[in-house]
C-alpha cells in the first residue's frame, strides 16, 4: 500500500502567505496604485530589475515597496517614490540627465533605459563605495545601453559643472532648498525634480530667469549632505 500524506496543512500555509512577489507583481501594483503611467517608464521598470541593485542579504525583499539598506547608512529608494519622481521628470530618448545621490545605481539605470543609446546620464554620489557599487551593478546589466552612464564621486549639491547644461536634473536626497547650482546648470525648457525637506519640488525653467514651481507633499528622504544650498 502506498502511504498517503494529507496536503491540508501545507495548503493552509499557502492561503495565509502573501502571493509570491516578482518584478512583474511590483510593477502591476505600481500601475494599479496610479504611480506608474507612462509606457517608456513601465518598460524601464521591467528591464531594470531592482533585485540586481540590492545587496545579497536583501534580495528576498527586492520587490517590496519600501526602501532597503545598501550599506553606509543609505538605502535604495522606495519603488513608489522612484516611479512618482520619474513620472514627474518624464525622461526622454536622447536627453542628458543629472542623477544626484545615485546610491545603488537603480534609478540611474532606469534613466539610462529611458534616454537610450543617444542619451547620457551622469550619476553623482558622495560615498565612494556606493559609487563603485553602482558602477558594478550597471556594468553587469545587459538590458540598458552601455556607455550611457558615467558615475562621479562628489558633492552633488554643486551639480556637475563639467557636464552642464542638463535637460533634466533629479535628486534622491532632500535639500533644505533647491541649490542655485542646479538651476544654473539646467537648460531653458529643462526640469528639476528633487526632494526639499518632506516634499518633492518640480522646477521648470521657462526662460533664462524664469522658473515655474510645483510641490508634492508627504514624502520622506535621506538628507542631501553638503554644500551651500539655494534660494527656493
Ligand atoms: N536612487 C538611489 C537608489 O535607489 O539607490 C537613492 C540612494 S539614497 C536614497 C540617496 C543617496 O544620496 C545616498 O547614497 C547618499 O549617499 C547620497 N547623497 C546624499 N547627499 C549627497 C550629496 N551632497 N552628493 C551626492 N550624493 C549624496
**pLDDT tens across 103-153, in order?**
999 999 999 999 999 999 999 999 999 999 999 999 999 999 999 999 999
Using the mean position of ligand 1's atoms as its centre, give its distance from the Cα of residue 131 in Å: 10
Catalytic residue among 6, 46, 77, 207: 77
Using the mean position of ligand 1's atoms as its centre, give its distance from the Cα of residue 1 in Å: 64
pLDDT of residue 6: 39
Average pLDDT for 47-63: 97
Does 229 reside within a domain? no
Number of domains in the chain: 1
Q: Is the CB of 190 under 6 A from ligand 1?
A: no
Tell me, yes or no, if 157 is annotated catalytic.
no
Does 194 reside within a domain? yes
Q: Which of 101, 132, 160, 222 to mutate to test the pocket of ligand 1 (most atoms within 8 A of CB)?
A: 101
> Residue 226 — pLDDT band, cuts 50, 70, 90?
confident
d(CA 16, CA 51): 25
Q: Is the CB of 76 under 6 A from ligand 1?
A: yes
Q: Which residues form the domain of 182? A: 19-217
Q: Is the CB of 74 under 6 A from ligand 1?
A: yes
Does 145 reside within a domain? yes
When the pLDDT of each residue in the chain is averaged and rounded to a whole number, the result is 91
Does 190 reside within a domain? yes
Q: Is the CB of 203 under 6 A from ligand 1?
A: no
Does 230 reside within a domain? no
Q: Is residue 22 within 8 Å of residue 63, measured between CB atoms?
A: yes
DSSP code for 138:
H
Using the mean position of ligand 1's atoms as its centre, give its distance from the Cα of residue 14 in Å: 38
Report which of 80, 166, 76 is spatially closest to residue 125, judged by C-alpha positions. Answer: 76
pTM of the model: 0.91
Q: pLDDT by residue (tens digit) across 182-217?
A: 999 999 999 999 999 999 999 999 999 999 999 999
What is the radius of gyration, based on Cα positions, of the chain? 20
Report which of 185, 194, 230, 187 is spatially closest to residue 213, judged by C-alpha positions. Answer: 194
Q: Which atom of ligand 1 is nearest to the CA of 70?
A: 5
Average pLDDT for 153-176: 97
Does 222 reside within a domain? no
The enclosing domain of 72 has a CATH number of 3.40.50.150
Report which of 219, 189, 227 is spatially closest to residue 90, judged by C-alpha positions. Answer: 189
Does 10 reside within a domain? no
pLDDT of residue 123: 98
d(CA 204, CA 183): 9
**Strand pairing category for 149-153 and 120-125:** parallel
Average pLDDT for 83-95: 98
Q: Is the CB of 81 under 6 A from ligand 1?
A: no
Does 232 reside within a domain? no
Q: Is the CB of 106 under 6 A from ligand 1?
A: yes
Amino acid at each position: 500500500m502506498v502511504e498517503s500524506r494529507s496536503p491540508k496543512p501545507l495548503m493552509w500555509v499557502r492561503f495565509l502567505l502573501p502571493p509570491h512577489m516578482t518584478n512583474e507583481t511590483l510593477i502591476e501594483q505600481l500601475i494599479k496604485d496610479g504611480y506608474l503611467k507612462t509606457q517608456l517608464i513601465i518598460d524601464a521598470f521591467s528591464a531594470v530589475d531592482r533585485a540586481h541593485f540590492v545587496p545579497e542579504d536583501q534580495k528576498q525583499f527586492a520587490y517590496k515597496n519600501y526602501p532597503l539598506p545598501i550599506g553606509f547608512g543609505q538605502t535604495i529608494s522606495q519603488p513608489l517614490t522612484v516611479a512618482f519622481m520619474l513620472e514627474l521628470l518624464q525622461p526622454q530618448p536622447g536627453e542628458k540627465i543629472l542623477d544626484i545621490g545615485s546610491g545603488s545605481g537603480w534609478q540611474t539605470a532606469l534613466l539610462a533605459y529611458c534616454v537610450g543609446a543617444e542619451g547620457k546620464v551622469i550619476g553623482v554620489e558622495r560615498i565612494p563605495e556606493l559609487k563603485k557599487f553602482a558602477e558594478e551593478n550597471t556594468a553587469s546589466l545587459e538590458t540598458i545601453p552601455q556607455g550611457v552612464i558615467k558615475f562621479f564621486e562628489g558633492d552633488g549639491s554643486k551639480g556637475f559643472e563639467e557636464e552642464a547644461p542638463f535637460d533634466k536634473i533629479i535628486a534622491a536626497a532632500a535639500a533644505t532648498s533647491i541649490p542655485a547650482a542646479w538651476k544654473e546648470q539646467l537648460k531653458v525648457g529643462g526640469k528639476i525634480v528633487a526632494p526639499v525637506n518632506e516634499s518633492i519640488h518640480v522646477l521648470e525653467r521657462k526662460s533664462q530667469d524664469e522658473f515655474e514651481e510645483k510641490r508634492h507633499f508627504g514624502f520622506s528622504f535621506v538628507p542631501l549632505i553638503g554644500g551651500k544650498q539655494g534660494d527656493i
